[in-house]
Amino acid sequence: MDTALSGPNALEPYWMPFTMNRRFKADPRMVARAEGMFYYTPEGRQVLDGTAGLWCCNAGHGQRRIVEAIQAQAAVMDYATSFNLGHPLAFQLAGRLAAMFTGDLDHIFFTNSGSESVDTALKIALAYQRTRGKGTKTRLIGRERGYHGVGFGGISVGGIAKNRMYFGGLLTGVDHLPHTHDLARNAWSRGVPAHGAELADALEKIVQLHDASNIAAVIVEPVAGSTGVLIPPRGYLERLRAICDKYDILLIFDEVITGFGRLGTPFGVDYFGVQPDIVTMAKGLTNAAVPMGAVAVSKRIYDTCMEQADAPIELFHGYTYSGHPLACAAGLATLDTYAEDGLFERAAQTAPLWEDALHALKGTRHVIDIRNIGLIGAIELDSRPGAPGERAYEAFRACFDAGVMVRVTGDIIALSPPLIIEPNHIDQLMQTIRDVLTALD
């Protein structure tokens, strides 16, 4: 396949997402091929993937089972609507996903991305409350620094200012819990930090302000990824669950990042042992080979919406590409890959080595904190005066030029490698970061 671009304006038509477009197009960095743990530039230079694409290629790149499943399905049936029509793969994948969850998270609604999964979860929560006769329960509670995609629902409950500031009033009836990041008490934590469970008690104050009769749901990421890897303090999620139970509020876990082995378990639900009412997922669901998301809901929610619906269509919601045949084929092959290659178990076994290698960077120039959980890591840098984010962005570019891909958010280097990472890859990744930061002003 020809990946060459020619002409002085070849890059101009593409308006790139979450990118400084003018800066990129003046000095682009491109990849043209991917296999296993590596991307390859158009010139053939190898770049170690330290971020699993964008938290999503959990099984590594170019997995043969997944590639062949997509190819085979495209030759059989390229598309079928899920509106009043079904195809077997969608039901098979829903069954496989439901079986992965503990408890009663046993019904699956398909979407096409994490953003759509979040908006779907919020709508299901509101529909459930109305259907059971609690129509005043409409308020949604997110968390500061939370990332829940880029739909209007997701950026409303999300708590990252840049995602919100340009787009007007957003959804009404939304409030936010405080974030859990506490450098003063939890810096250099290995795994779950010790301090901050009491931050969940802020939900009690929100209940006092709005009354529980008006609150439908709370949505949080078990581990807040896109904001720079904020790990919940010990006991925090348990406390949040208990308060939601106390006031009859649904708890939604956004597991778009933490799902499918990232913590060495199928989901954050399993890692933390806390059962939400709704779970969102995407990314690793298909190993990112075909866009797809999903929402898992409890039997209680599903049965209520089915049995007490006031219209023939119980949930008036869906997408043209819900349960897309190619995505379902990719999803089934991805789950096979995780199971047959033991990738969740492999991630759990690799996590202690990952933790030690990451924390060995303590003392490296500019580093003010390191944190980790599962196969996730964050290296927080001291910001340049008057230029927040600039140091990490330069580190990103320098790492790529040195053969390693990292992700940055603000002045935080975030790492989430494919679950197939080997010890030599970890060594290469950490040494490159050390060298880059040492040379960086």
- The string of pLDDT tens digits covering residues 399-413 is 999 999 999 999 999
* 392: nearest Cα among 404, 380, 400, 377: 380
The DSSP H or E segment spanning 438 is helix 423-439
The DSSP H or E segment spanning 236 is helix 236-246
Q: pLDDT averaged over the chain?
A: 97
**What average pLDDT does this structure show over 354-359?**
98
Q: Is 223 in contact with 191 (CB distance < 8 Å)?
A: no
- Under DSSP, is residue 113 helix (H, G, I), strand (E, B) or coil? coil
Dump pLDDT digits (tens) for 254-290.
Answer: 999 999 999 999 999 999 999 999 999 999 999 999 9
Whether pLDDT at 382 is above 80:
yes
Count helices and strands (H / E) in the chain: 16, 15
Q: Which domains does the chain have, with CATH numbers?
A: 21-59+342-439 (3.90.1150.10), 67-340 (3.40.640.10)
* 367: nearest Cα among 339, 392, 348: 392
Structure tokens at 386: 């008057």
Whether pLDDT at 309 is above 90:
yes
Q: What is the DSSP letter of 195?
A: S
Burial class, 179, CB count within 10 angstroms (exposed 0-12 / middle 13-18 / buried 19+): middle
Whether pLDDT at 317 is above 80:
yes
Q: What is the pLDDT at residue 146?
A: 97
Q: How confident is the model at residue 7 (pLDDT cuts 50, 70, 90)?
A: confident
- Under DSSP, is residue 267 helix (H, G, I), strand (E, B) or coil? coil
- Residues linked to residue 219 through DSSP beta bridges, in sequence order: 252
Q: What is the pLDDT at residue 2?
A: 60
Question: What are the Cα distances from residue 278, in Å, to 82, 128, 203, 227, 302?
Answer: 22, 11, 18, 22, 10
From the CB of residue 32, how many other CB atoms can be counted at a distance below 10 Å?
14
Whether pLDDT at 3 is above 70:
no
**What average pLDDT does this structure show over 100-119?**
97
Q: What is the pLDDT at residue 354?
A: 98
